[in-house]
Amino acid sequence: MEKDVSKYFKDAVEKLKEANEELYKPEEDVVSLLVCQKSQHAIENYLKGYLLRNGIDPSPFESIESMYQECLKLNKEFKKVDLTNFTCDYIDTDMAYCNDFKEVSHCYELADGLDTLLRKEKIIA
């Protein structure tokens, strides 16, 4: 199980790094859909890793929102990164949403906020 937890966190950190690299290209060169996808993937894996680390199988959860609510029950610090009503799903992504640089930045900021929270809690290094 510890190996799976590490895998989720390692993948989340890598996806966040990739989103960051994409986001900080000159605005005309940014592929916003990639930032959305990588940020959402990072969020999902941070939450799955946290749940698994706490002995909860993440597979029954159907959404980021439901995983977030479970993480919030385990640790009230998750309130600092408000994923309530986070409905972005890069599989069914509204392309107009992902083309809005402000919205893309928001998705990235949420993923980065989770990374910061988990580092502050000394869950990831």
What confidence score (pLDDT) does residue 101 get?
61
Q: Look up the pTM and report it.
A: 0.87
* Residue 65 CB contacts under 8 Å (≥ 6 apart), including other chains: 83, 84, 85, 86, 87
- Domain CATH number, residue 10: 1.20.120
What confidence score (pLDDT) does residue 102 get?
64
What confidence score (pLDDT) does residue 19 get?
93
Q: Please answer whether residues 93 and 33 qualify as being in contact, where contact means their C-beta atoms are separated by less than 8 angstroms.
A: yes
What confidence score (pLDDT) does residue 31 get?
78
In a domain, 125, yes or no: no
In the chain, the number of structural domains is 1
What confidence score (pLDDT) does residue 22 get?
87
Q: Please give the structure tokens belonging to residue 31.
A: 């592929």
What confidence score (pLDDT) does residue 89 get?
56
What confidence score (pLDDT) does residue 50 get?
98
Q: How many CA atoms lie within 13 A of 62 on its CB side?
A: 0
- The residue count for the chain: 125
Determine phi and psi for 12, rounding to 5 degrees.
Answer: -60, -45
Distances (CA, A) of 37 to 15, 73, 85, 93, 119: 9, 26, 17, 9, 22
Dist. CA 63–CA 92, nearest whole Å: 13
Q: Which among 118, 125, 120 is positioned nearest to 51, based on CA atoms?
A: 118
In a domain, 100, yes or no: yes
Question: In order along the chain (125 residues), what is the average pLDDT of each group of 10 residues?
Answer: 90 96 79 86 97 97 94 97 73 53 79 98 94
What confidence score (pLDDT) does residue 61 get?
95
In a domain, 7, yes or no: yes
Domain that holds residue 99: 2-120
In a domain, 40, yes or no: yes
